[in-house]
Amino acid sequence: MKKPNKIWGVNVVLFILGLFLSVSGLINAWVLPHGYEARGSALVPLRHFLNECHTWAGLFFIAAVGIHLVLHNGYLRKNFATFGWSRWLKR
């Protein structure tokens, strides 16, 4: 697969994961019951499941950002050198 296609694919994955993280975080924070008000609620298992999915999506998001940075290695090296930050680069 060509590099631009890989970058595009990683960008799509990052967008979807970011969207899922945003929605699941907002639902978990503002919609589902917390603490004392959750006692006896049928939504508690849903909250725990959503929290687990949110955590795993966050880990996948971090991995995808790492892949994104590796794919943009040349661009990053060029810009570090342009701004005089070449000491951060391995020779």
Q: Is residue 61 part of a domain?
A: yes
Give Cα separations from 42 to 2, 55, 79, 80, 83 (angstroms): 48, 21, 53, 53, 56
Q: Is residue 2 part of a domain?
A: no
The string of pLDDT tens digits covering residues 13-54 is 999 999 999 999 999 999 988 878 778 788 888 999 999 999
The string of pLDDT tens digits covering residues 64-74 is 999 999 999 98
Q: What is the pTM of this model?
A: 0.85
The count of domains in the chain is 1
Q: Is residue 5 part of a domain?
A: no
Distance CA 10, CA 65 (A): 8
Q: Is residue 54 part of a domain?
A: yes
Q: Is residue 3 part of a domain?
A: no
3-state secondary structure of 83: coil
Q: Is residue 50 part of a domain?
A: yes
Domain ranges, residue 25: 10-33+42-88
